[in-house]
Amino acid sequence: MIEIDLRLPLVHFELEVRCKLEASVTAVVGPSGSGKTSLLEALAGLRGRAKGRIAIDGALLLDSDGRIALPPEARGIGYVPQDAALFPHLTARENIRFARNDADRFDALVATLELAPLLDRRPATLSGGERQRVALARALMTEPRLLLLDEPLASIDQPLRDKILVYLRRIRDIQRAPMLYVTHQPFEALALASDCLVLRDGRIVAQGSPDSVMHDPAITGSAAIENVFHAIDPRHDATRGITRVSTAEGIELVLPHDQLAAATFPLVVRISGDDIVVLGERPAAISSRNVLEGSVIALHVGEGIADVTFATPARIHVRLTRDAAEDLRLGIGSRVWLALRSRAFRIVG
């Protein structure tokens, strides 16, 4: 367990964070300038003015009252900044082995993160995604007791993001070190984290499961309309072109077989709330392979739009025009059918 009770004066406000983290991955979200990076740097010991108390599994890293302030090298915290900050004068291999020369661990990380083709290249010749993977391996070589990731996907193009996310999930599942993961993207929090901190002006304004936090417009401003499912147990039917999966969220889905034939499970699939059709009655015949019955459990009507959360029983978030919402006479408890096209799902991996 990570206990944080931290104060750090910044230019426009004081960072004041008090929380306990027990999840394997905790997402830290919030608008730009809300103190997310400062929080990570203070935890890593890079902000000398930080005061308060930080403990990991009872071991104190900072205790201003007891005059304990371990330097960064004694904290055992791995930190991957937004731009990876690989040492430019060293090759990828030298970067990874910079702190430790443990051959077994090196080989394992190179295999997990598929780094073998990159090892003899210098950072200047690596793409954003490759740099992030090398930086991740470099941090993990030290067997950190906490891993801090600052928007690792921010500088990476969309097609590659999903791929890196797969690596991050692999690391989460293989490494035992808990992660603190700063992100702007609701989807990343939903796909990776089981706990979520919302930071605003240096303070935590909400903490909870990513699904509850990231879809609450009162907390995140404009609600994220993204649905993420953790798919397991595939049943392929190549002739009919479909793969049926169960999900950790408790619903069955039908997905396109061609995109899943070679996939490794479990995997994450996502569908935007803009791509879901809401029907007032059960359709007699429809091309969408996923028709789920649900009821409205949350409704936020804004300027021209309505964000609606349905229980199916998995929570599904949909964004409609206000006109559509009024036409369907949606209110809390309304029963509807949701149509999710198989091909509207994105397979993250």
Partner 1 sequence: MPAHACYSYPVTDLAILLFTLRVAATSTALIAPIALVLAALTWQAGARLRALIDAAATLPLVLPPTAVGFVLLAIFSRRRPAGALLARLGVGFLFTPRAVVLAAAVMSFPLVFMAFRAAIDSSEIRYFQIARTLGLGSIRAFIRVTLPLAWRGILGGIILGFCRAIGEFGATILIAGNIPGRTQTLALAIYNRVESGHEGDAVLLLIYVVLIALTSLIGSEVLIRRQQRRLSS
Q: Which of 30, 35, 45, 294 lies at the binding interface for partner 1 (CB under 8 A)?
A: 45
Q: Which of 57, 87, 173, 252 lies at the binding interface for partner 1 (CB under 8 A)?
A: 87
Contact 107, 114 (CB under 8 A): no
By C-beta, is 76 or 349 nearer to partner 1?
Answer: 76
Q: Applying CB under 8 A, does 30 fall inside the site for partner 1?
A: no
Residue 22 Cα distances to 25, 55, 56, 132, 179, angstroms: 8, 12, 10, 25, 10
Q: Which of 14, 68, 71, 235 lies at the binding interface for partner 1 (CB under 8 A)?
A: 71
276-279 sheet: strands from edge to edge: 276-279, 335-340, 290-301, 305-311, 315-321
Contact segment (CB under 8 A) with partner 1 among 83-91, 149-157, 178-186, 219-227 equals: 83-91
Cis peptide before 313 (omega within 30 of 0): yes
Residues 98-117 that bind partner 1 (CB under 8 A): 98-100
Tell me which DSSP letter residue 203 carries.
Answer: E
Q: Provide the minimum distance between the beta carbon of 11 and partner 1 in the complex, in angstroms, as a whole number.
A: 17
Q: Applying CB under 8 A, does 244 fall inside the site for partner 1?
A: no
Q: Which of 32, 58, 67, 73 lies at the binding interface for partner 1 (CB under 8 A)?
A: 73
CB-count burial class (<10 Å; 0-12, 13-18, 19+) for 282:
exposed
Q: Provide the minimum distance between the beta carbon of 2 and partner 1 in the complex, in angstroms, as a whole number.
A: 16
H or E element at residue 186: helix 186-192
By C-beta, is 74 or 332 nearer to partner 1?
Answer: 74
Q: Provide the minimum distance between the beta carbon of 98 and partner 1 in the complex, in angstroms, as a whole number.
A: 6
Residue 29 Cα distances to 40, 187, 201, 249, angstroms: 12, 11, 12, 22
Q: Provide the minimum distance between the beta carbon of 145 and partner 1 in the complex, in angstroms, as a whole number.
A: 12
Q: Provide the minimum distance between the beta carbon of 125 and partner 1 in the complex, in angstroms, as a whole number.
A: 7
Closest listed residue to residue 118, CA positions, set 162, 78, 84: 84
Distance, in Å, from the CA atom of 231 to the CA atom of 254, rounded to the nearest integer, reads 11
By C-beta, is 44 or 255 nearer to partner 1?
Answer: 44
Q: Provide the minimum distance between the beta carbon of 184 and partner 1 in the complex, in angstroms, as a whole number.
A: 21
Q: What are phi and psi of 218, to 5 degrees?
A: -65, -25
H or E element at residue 307: strand 305-311
Q: Applying CB under 8 A, does 175 fall inside the site for partner 1?
A: no
**200 CA to centre of own chain:** 18
Query: Which tokens go with 105?
Result: 């661990």
Q: Applying CB under 8 A, does 280 fall inside the site for partner 1?
A: no
Query: Which tokens go with 243?
Result: 């793969």
Q: Which of 58, 88, 304, 333 lies at the binding interface for partner 1 (CB under 8 A)?
A: 88
Q: Provide the minimum distance between the beta carbon of 99 and partner 1 in the complex, in angstroms, as a whole number.
A: 4
Q: What are phi and psi of 26, to 5 degrees?
A: -110, 125
Q: Which of 89, 222, 281, 284 lies at the binding interface for partner 1 (CB under 8 A)?
A: 89
By C-beta, is 40 or 199 nearer to partner 1?
Answer: 40
CB-count burial class (<10 Å; 0-12, 13-18, 19+) for 22:
exposed
Query: Which tokens go with 55?
Result: 């403990």
Q: Provide the minimum distance between the beta carbon of 27 and partner 1 in the complex, in angstroms, as a whole number.
A: 21
Residues 138-157 that bind partner 1 (CB under 8 A): 138-139, 141-142
By C-beta, is 125 or 295 nearer to partner 1?
Answer: 125
Tell me which DSSP letter residue 342 carries.
Answer: G
Q: Provide the minimum distance between the beta carbon of 41 and partner 1 in the complex, in angstroms, as a whole number.
A: 8
By C-beta, is 75 or 317 nearer to partner 1?
Answer: 75
Binding site for partner 1 (CB under 8 A): 44-46, 71-73, 75-79, 81, 85, 87-89, 98-100, 122, 124-125, 138-139, 141-142
